[in-house]
Structure 1
Amino acid sequence: MNTNKRQIEERGSWERKAEFLLAVAGTVVGLGNVWRFPYLCYRNGGGAFLIPYLMFVVTCGVPLFLLETAMGQFTQQGAITCWRHLCPLAGGIGYAGQLKVVYGCMYYIIILAWALFYLIYSFSSQLPWASCDNTWNTDGCVNLAAKNLTINQTTLVNTTPAAVEFWERRVLSLSGGIEEVGKIHWEILLCLIVMWIICYFCIWKGVKSTGKVVYFTATFPYVMLLVLLIRGLTLPGALQGIVFYLYPEPARLADPQVWMEAGTQIFFSYSLCSGSLISLGSYNQFNNNCYRDCFWLCLLNSGTSFVAGFAVFSVLGFMAHVQGVPIEEVAESGPGLAFIAYPQAVAMMPFPQLWAVCFFIMIVFLGLDTQFVAMECVITSVMDLFPGVLRRAGRRELFLLLFCLTCFFGQLIMVTEGGIYVFQLFDYYASNGACVLFLSVFESLAIAWVFGAEKMSDAIEDMTKSRPNYIFILCWKYFTPLVSLGFFVYSMVKYRPLTFKNWYVYPDWAYALGWLLALSSILLVPGWALGQMCAKKGSLKQRWRHLCSLNTNLPLSSKKPAEIQDQTFTAEIDDLVSSSTN
């Protein structure tokens, strides 16, 4: 048995197809499906928003989803090393995607710590965000869940709801700005430690443990979502909320911002250009039908987003009905929905503790599998980069521990009194939609025009025995890069500096830090290409051809996975690696 074969066996694979499907479902179905899509839908034309959304599903979402999954399955490599087999010149795309995932791991798990904190308090005899009798409440606090409370516009303007005070004064201990870091919130820190420990043990044995954990973490949120959906639809005012969610406003389609937000939602909710799909696909058997899997997983993702809108807006409709205010005054997106609007709504229901527990369990599990699968993808990519060092017994666990500790100590500032400002900085810049769009352009161009769209289609046919529809080739070559480039330019033209709650303006140094986070991933793409061109020997034309044509000897045979190359191709790869490291 040759060395390469032994390396494939050591790397591991999914024991069952269901493990792959659930792992991908876990990473693509996350908090954005619950708190971002419904809000975007109502804000951007209701049912009319589905028109640009579905157009981008067809032209960008599904084609890139299939492309990335197939890249991993064909090369049997993670998000970084797969480019050695496809287009070495574009290797910076892999590094950039993994850097974005690391940034995401650092701030995304903070949301899970907040959710765990809320979940613990949901077992209280009285929900703390449904009372103004706590030590953190101010004289201006008003309990909107109180019976016989007369609510009018003056009440809402001159007071602060109890749920808002719990969020800002108890959970965040909000300071006056990013300059005022303040002290560490030790209770949130403990919740954060718990979440890191859970994530560590979910993936510490690689796909052997990840594949088992996702059976529960990827399915249980759907049980909670179904429970909350049924409960929401039975509440008074639910129909009003659903109509508000879906009522079409065709005139909004003339606004470019609507199309921009539809496209950005696709890239985020499908986890595109992060390398996650490549890494997860790399653990598939070579002849797995990723072509069919792609359609089912994309349908699951978009379907979950759509159904979650009913669960969310039925409850917000009830909240608006009880308060006697328009729904737009209670509808929020992001953390504002999960930690203010929805908790306030459940506080108005009978048995509020029950519905609060259901909701925050759903939030924890929705975010949990997204977090640990993202961590698994980073670990996979780095281990494939240094297999001789990290695939020895016990090395994976130590490396994973080092990764967790590095992220943990790097994010400690986010659990301070000024932590929410740093959190928003990471969310707005490090995971900026423009970065994803930039990577999408170069990923599409590298595969479609350098490796070859037809060759990738041949590879998919060789693996699945089904040739992709020609529309996929058109998307890879033309539609996806053009749409992504157009969005990227538009996002730069329409750039607006980050603010907090529309009243706090960040200092200039914070904006500079934000752009540094954004550019750190963007510049890796041209930087890597330039570095490789300089490292190789020969004329400029020879270097270009060598770095763009290493794929010529890729075997197309279901009996020979792409990782088991012939001796000529292996020699070329080794030559590339040695020249880049020298």
Structure 2
Amino acid sequence: MTAEASREVPLGDLGPQRGAPGEGAPKRDKWANKMEFLFVMAGEIIGLGNVWRFPYLCFRNGGGAFLIPYFVVLLFCGFPLFFMETALGQFTSEGGVTAWRKICPMFEGVGMASQIILLYVSIYRTVVLAWILFYLFNSFRSPLPWATCDNWWNTGKAIYANPHMFQPDSNWSFLHNTTPSGDYTDDYFDVIRVLRMTDQMSLINVHWQVAACLLVAWIMCYFCVWKGVKSTGKVAYFTATFPYLLLFILFIRAVTLPGAADGLKYYLMPDFSRIADPRVWSDAANHVFISFAVCQGVLTALGSYNKYNNNCFKDCVTLVCLNSATSIFAGFVVFSVLGFMSYEMNVSIEEVASAGFDLCFMVLPKALSLLPGFSFWAVLFFLMCLFLDLDSQFVLVESLATNITDMFPHFLRRPGRREKLVLVIAAFCYLLGLVFVTEGGITLFYMFDHYGAGHISLRFIACFETVVIAWVYGANRFYDNIEDMIGYQPFPLLKYCWLFVIPLVCWMTLVYDLNNSHIVGVYGYEPGSWMFILGGLLMLIPLMCIPVYINPQNMTTPSSDLRQAWPHKPVLTLCNHVIFKGQAKPPRTAGERDEKMMMETSGV
């Protein structure tokens, strides 16, 4: 019996009697070594959010005091989910859909919900990569085009450099300020060259220069993953490490700027009174869920390429620590630059501090234009952003291709099919992504980001994932599976987090966020109620997969398959009548486990 075949029936598991999804299909690839897995995972979870979201959240939510709710949520929610999804993929050797089918057929819809969110993110987040490429290409010009008003596209009107232009909730009035000498960075991003926002906010008029950058972004993603993990792992060696070199160079320059110390003080000065604000805890939960790519099927897909006896627990600890350290370190760079900017403009830090697109495409480009050798620093900054976002994006495409392939292994694992599948995914996502580079595309972008793939959807899925693993499949049973893989059981805190803490925290923060939900305004433009309805549909479509899949699975799955519903007491009852009663297999002995490991190592 081969190692792959022996894995068809997990530890202590009676398992489904029907064949596994990939039975009889060509053999699945594996990571060439552990470092490839670590670099690819690091590339996925460490991205622009570490630069443009975390530092601002610290600043807004009590400085250094924000680290308390952040690490509490990370310890009791983020890491347990991160490890659970990775271990699930490694244990089943299946992607984000078929892994759930394998451990509990009734809840395959949990995996499908994750895939829809993964598709959302793959479509709209590549637009950010296109914006970065647009800025990078223009950074080679001198002077920087967003720093002057003597370019061919300027209308003769400038935007006055007032502090409100840096705020996401500013209104449209600043667009009509015609002070001839001022700041043009906001205008460059919003109205003139990148987004080309107008009063009509049309979804038809495509900005073809950004569309060309979007095409380049998808071509880059395609060639990073077209050969599967064999190419993805090799590319990640560079894309996951090079941004750290650039970030370190920017750090050395930033901390030597005048005003940097004031910026760092605002970044880290603790205000412990903010800890009592539920908004702070909600922000911490939102950032952890988004930053660690949980509930998207990505971690399960990447973990599925590990060898069965890989110590995924140790890997997850390393990756979580690296992610958090990167976020904190990036804050030193960002707020040193913001301190310099406030010093140069003679305004307070509060007036220039911002997050998201405002920080990456407005505030920091303006600050870089004030430096000697501004073109060099602009190129360096946008190169860093490019590689931070590129590996996050192509890993999403890799995960999507993996999950689809595992659903149809007999057809898609044949030679040449992988390349065609990735090409179809790239072309499909590019065509749909064109709507995001229209005049009103930014409104749709915010709808997808806030509702479709936002924290509300992720926390709903997190609740179902932990309920299925901890209550339906069984937390103790899954712990036995983990022990079978890595040789020991991790500390039991994880088990209780799956059972109680994560569902409780998710529901509490969900109630808070739903009560405070509102229509998202975009740079002063308030969309109509139809956008709120669209956002609700984007959020409901993936969540509806869960109940929709339960009934068909109930009708098509033999009752003996449903014995997984009560793993420690394999009895299936209906209206107090026993439908099925089985005996659970005893756990593997140490000798049996060693024999399994030897078979996998030798490739038998």
TM-score, normalised by the number of residues in structure 2: 0.87
Matched, 1:171 2:188: no
Matched, 1:252 2:269: no
Partner of 2:553: 532
Q: In the superposition, relative to structure 1, how do residues 156 and 170 fare at CA in structure 2: closer, same or farther (>3 Å)?
A: closer
Q: Quick one: which of 314, 339, 343 aligns to 1:292? A: 314
Q: Quick one: which of 535, 538, 545 aligns to 1:517? A: 538
Superposed displacement of residue 466, structure 1 = 2.6
Matched, 1:16 2:38: no
Q: In the superposition, relative to structure 1, how do residues 558 and 81 fare at CA in structure 2: closer, same or farther (>3 Å)?
A: farther
Partner of 1:476: 498
1:123-522 correspondence runs (5 A): 123-141=140-158, 158=177, 159=179, 161-168=183-190, 169-178=192-201, 180-501=202-523, 503-522=524-543
Q: For the residues of structure 2 that align with 1:373 and 1:291, how far apart are their CA atoms? A: 21
Q: In the superposition, relative to structure 1, how do residues 438 and 474 fare at CA in structure 2: closer, same or farther (>3 Å)?
A: same
Q: For the residues of structure 2 that align with 1:278 and 1:490, how far apart are their CA atoms? A: 29
Alpha carbons 1:291, 1:468 under 8 Å: kept: yes
1:47-126 correspondence runs (5 A): 47-126=64-143
Alpha carbons 1:21, 1:297 under 8 Å: kept: yes
Alpha-carbon displacement from aligned partner over 1:334-357 (angstroms, at most 9, x marks no partner):
111110000000000010011100
Q: For the residues of structure 2 that align with 1:292 and 1:245, how far apart are their CA atoms? A: 31
Q: For the residues of structure 1 that align with 2:495 and 2:212, how far apart are their CA atoms? A: 49
Alpha carbons 2:442, 2:522 under 8 Å: kept: no
What SS class does the counterpart of residue 125 from structure 2 fall into? helix
Alpha carbons 2:24, 2:410 under 8 Å: kept: no
1:35-54 correspondence runs (5 A): 35-54=52-71
Alpha carbons 1:379, 1:400 under 8 Å: kept: yes
CA RMSD of aligned residues (A): 2.5
Alpha carbons 1:105, 1:375 under 8 Å: kept: yes
What SS class does the counterpart of residue 133 from structure 1 fall into? coil
Superposed displacement of residue 81, structure 1 = 0.5
Partner of 2:51: 34
Alpha carbons 1:27, 1:373 under 8 Å: kept: yes
Q: For the residues of structure 2 that align with 1:431 and 1:554, how far apart are their CA atoms? A: 41
What SS class does the counterpart of residue 411 from structure 1 fall into? helix
Q: For the residues of structure 1 that align with 2:85 and 2:587, how far apart are their CA atoms? A: 19
Q: For the residues of structure 1 that align with 2:468 and 2:137, how far apart are their CA atoms? A: 48
What amino acid does structure 2 have at the position aligned with 1:225? L
Q: For the residues of structure 2 that align with 1:449 and 1:251, how far apart are their CA atoms? A: 37
Superposed displacement of residue 521, structure 1 = 1.0
Alpha carbons 2:159, 2:187 under 8 Å: kept: no
Partner of 1:570: none
Q: For the residues of structure 2 that align with 1:234 and 1:485, how far apart are their CA atoms? A: 45
Q: For the residues of structure 1 that align with 2:595 and 2:309, how far apart are their CA atoms? A: 9
Superposed displacement of residue 7, structure 1 = 5.9
Q: For the residues of structure 2 that align with 1:281 and 1:221, how far apart are their CA atoms? A: 24
Alpha carbons 2:36, 2:237 under 8 Å: kept: yes
Alpha-carbon displacement from aligned partner over 1:83-138 (angstroms, at most 9, x marks no partner):
12222222111111111011001111100000001000110021001101123334
Superposed displacement of residue 491, structure 1 = 1.4
Superposed displacement of residue 537, structure 1 = 6.4
Alpha-carbon displacement from aligned partner over 1:17-37 (angstroms, at most 9, x marks no partner):
000000000000011111000
Alpha-carbon displacement from aligned partner over 1:214-238 (angstroms, at most 9, x marks no partner):
0000111111111111111010000
Q: Which moved more, 1:123-132 or 1:4-13?
A: 4-13
Q: In the superposition, relative to structure 1, how do residues 312 and 7 fare at CA in structure 2: closer, same or farther (>3 Å)?
A: farther
Superposed displacement of residue 204, structure 1 = 0.4
What amino acid does structure 2 have at the position aligned with 1:439? I
Q: In the superposition, relative to structure 1, how do residues 247 and 402 fare at CA in structure 2: closer, same or farther (>3 Å)?
A: same
Q: In the superposition, relative to structure 1, how do residues 537 and 289 fare at CA in structure 2: closer, same or farther (>3 Å)?
A: closer
Q: For the residues of structure 2 that align with 1:249 and 1:554, how far apart are their CA atoms? A: 54
What amino acid does structure 2 have at the position aligned with 1:170? R
Q: For the residues of structure 1 that align with 2:558 and 2:311, how far apart are their CA atoms? A: 40
Q: In the superposition, relative to structure 1, how do residues 558 and 407 fare at CA in structure 2: closer, same or farther (>3 Å)?
A: farther
1:541-560 correspondence runs (5 A): 545=563, 557=593, 559-560=595-596
Alpha carbons 1:273, 1:439 under 8 Å: kept: yes
- Please, which runs of 5 or more residues in structure 2 have no aligned partner? 6-22, 163-172, 571-581
Q: Percent identity at matched positions? A: 45
Q: Which moved more, 1:408-417 or 1:117-126?
A: 408-417
Alpha carbons 1:89, 1:529 under 8 Å: kept: yes
Alpha-carbon displacement from aligned partner over 1:239-286 (angstroms, at most 9, x marks no partner):
100111111111111110110000111111111111111111110000
Alpha carbons 2:104, 2:564 under 8 Å: kept: no
Q: In the superposition, relative to structure 1, how do residues 448 and 554 fare at CA in structure 2: closer, same or farther (>3 Å)?
A: farther
Q: Quick one: which of 36, 42, 45 aligns to 1:25? A: 42
Q: For the residues of structure 2 that align with 1:208 and 1:363, how far apart are their CA atoms? A: 25
Superposed displacement of residue 554, structure 1 = 10
Alpha carbons 2:115, 2:297 under 8 Å: kept: yes
Alpha-carbon displacement from aligned partner over 1:31-89 (angstroms, at most 9, x marks no partner):
11110001111001111111100101110111111111110111111111111222222
Alpha carbons 1:96, 1:524 under 8 Å: kept: yes
Q: For the residues of structure 2 that align with 1:155 and 1:415, how far apart are their CA atoms? A: 23
Alpha carbons 1:175, 1:181 under 8 Å: kept: no
Q: For the residues of structure 2 that align with 1:2 and 1:479, how far apart are their CA atoms? A: 39
Alpha-carbon displacement from aligned partner over 1:171-205 (angstroms, at most 9, x marks no partner):
11112244x22421111111111110110010000
Q: For the residues of structure 2 that align with 1:422 and 1:500, how far apart are their CA atoms? A: 10
Partner of 1:572: none
TM-score, normalised by the number of residues in structure 1: 0.90
Alpha carbons 1:142, 1:161 under 8 Å: kept: yes
Q: For the residues of structure 1 that align with 2:361 and 2:111, how far apart are their CA atoms? A: 34
